[in-house]
C-alpha cells in the first residue's frame, strides 16, 4: 500500500535529526514507499468545503546538515488527496493549536489524522491525567495562592508548573520556606488565564522520569530520563539524559489501564511520564517524543510499529 502522507510540523530545517521523532516517522514512511509532504500549521486553508495546504514533497536522509530535500510546492487537498496527516507540531497547546485541530476535524472519515484531532483537543497532557487519579501523585489544580500555601503546608515540598507547559519549561520546585511561591503565583496569573498545577515533590525524580511510549494502546518501549547536574527536571530538552530501563509491575498496571482508552480515542502515538516507577504525571498526546532513544537502547523499531498501526486502521 502506497500512501500520501502530509506531515504538519515545525520547520524541518531546524530539527535535531539525532533525536527527533517526527523525522524518524518520515524516514520510516519513506522506506515503505509512501509519498511524504511537509507543511506548517499556518499553511492550512479551508474554502468551499475543502481543507487544503501549500505543501512541499520532501525526501529525508539521516545526514547532519543535509537531511532533507524539498520539491516544488503544490496545493494539497488534505481530505481528497492525502491518506494520512501526521499532526506533529510542537506545543504550546494554544488557540492556534486548537484551531488547527478544529480544521483537521473537517476531514474526519476521509483522511486518518494521527493523533485524532478531537481527542488531542480533549486530552491536554496535564489534564487528561486527571482521569486516572489512582496513579497520580498528590495534585492541586488552582489559581489560588492560599490553596497553594495550604497544599505546601500539607506536603512540605512542591512543584508548580503551567497547565499547558511543555518540555519542562516554567517548572519550579518550592521548599518548606515557601520562598518565591507568592511571586510565582503572581507571575503565573499574569502570564496565563488558566489555572496552574501544584504537585507534591517526588524525591524519586532524582532516579529519573520514565517516558513510556504506547502505540495504539500497547507498550512499545521506554526510556529513563535522568536529570542533569543541579537540576530536578529530567526532560531531555531541559538537559536530561536518556538511559535504558525496564517497566515495573506498577507501570505495567498503568499502561494496561490507559491502553484501551487511548486506542478507542484514536491516540495512536502516546508518551506517558512516570516517576519512581509508580506515579503517573503526564499523558502526552500532542507531539510525543522518545522513539529514537528507545530504538537506540532496545533495538525496537517503534517507527515501524506506528506505521503498522496506521496501516491497520486504513485497511479497516
Catalytic residue IDs: 126, 161, 211, 225, 233, 273, 282, 284
| 27: CB partners within 8 A, 6+ apart | 60, 61, 62, 303
Place of cell 520546585: 173
Using only C-alpha atoms, the chain has a radius of gyration, in whole angstroms, of 20
C-alpha cell at 146: 492560599
Distance CA 142, CA 158 (A): 14
- DSSP-assigned letter for residue 92: P
C-alpha cell at 249: 509491575
Nearest to 99 by CA among 120, 75, 76: 120
Residue 5 bridge partners (DSSP): 36, 84
Distance CA 129, CA 108 (A): 25
How many whole angstroms from its chain centre is CA 173? Answer: 23
How many whole angstroms from its chain centre is CA 130? Answer: 17
Amino acid at each position: 500500500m502506497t500512501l500520501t502522507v502530509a506531515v504538519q510540523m515545525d520547520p524541518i530545517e531546524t530539527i535535531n535529526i539525532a533525536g527527533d521523532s517526527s523525522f524518524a516517522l518520515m524516514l520510516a514512511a519513506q522506506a515503505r514507499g509512501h509519498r511524504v509532504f511537509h507543511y506548517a500549521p499556518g499553511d492550512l486553508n479551508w474554502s468551499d468545503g475543502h481543507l487544503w495546504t501549500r505543501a512541499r514533497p520532501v525526501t529525508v536522509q539521516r545526514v547532519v546538515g543535509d537531511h532533507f530535500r524539498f520539491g516544488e510546492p503544490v496545493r494539497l487537498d488534505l481530505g481528497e488527496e492525502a491518506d494520512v496527516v501526521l499532526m506533529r507540531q510542537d506545543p504550546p497547546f494554544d488557540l492556534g493549536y486548537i484551531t488547527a485541530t478544529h480544521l483537521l476535524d473537517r476531514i474526519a472519515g476521509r483522511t486518518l489524522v494521527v493523533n485524532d484531532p478531537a481527542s488531542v483537543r480533549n486530552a491536554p497532557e496535564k489534564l487528561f491525567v486527571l482521569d486516572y487519579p489512582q496513579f497520580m501523585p498528590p495534585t492541586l489544580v488552582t489559581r489560588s495562592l492560599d490553596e497553594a500555601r495550604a497544599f505546601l503546608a500539607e506536603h512540605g515540598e512542591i512543584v508548580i508548573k503551567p497547565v499547558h507547559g511543555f518540555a519542562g519549561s516554567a517548572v519550579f520546585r518550592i521548599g518548606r520556606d515557601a520562598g518565591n511561591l507568592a511571586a510565582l503565583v503572581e507571575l503565573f496569573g499574569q502570564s496565563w488565564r488558566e489555572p496552574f498545577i501544584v504537585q507534591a515533590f517526588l524525591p524519586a525524580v532524582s532516579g529519573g522520569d520514565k517516558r513510556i511510549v504506547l502505540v495504539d494502546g500497547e507498550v512499545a518501549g521506554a526510556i529513563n530520563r535522568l536529570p542533569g547536574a543541579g537540576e530536578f527536571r529530567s526532560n531531555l530538552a531541559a538537559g536530561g539524559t536518556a538511559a535504558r530501563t525496564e517497566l515495573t509491575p506498577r507501570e505495567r498496571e498503568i499502561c494496561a489501564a490507559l491502553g484501551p482508552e487511548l486506542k478507542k480515542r484514536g491516540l495512536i502515538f502516546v508518551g506517558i511520564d512516570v516517576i519512581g516507577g509508580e506515579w503517573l504525571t503526564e499523558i502526552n498526546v500532542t507531539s510525543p517524543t522518545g522513539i529514537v532513544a528507545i530504538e537506540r537502547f532496545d533495538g525496537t523499531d517503534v517507527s515501524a510499529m506506528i506505521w503498522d498501526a496506521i496501516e491497520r486502521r486504513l485497511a479497516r
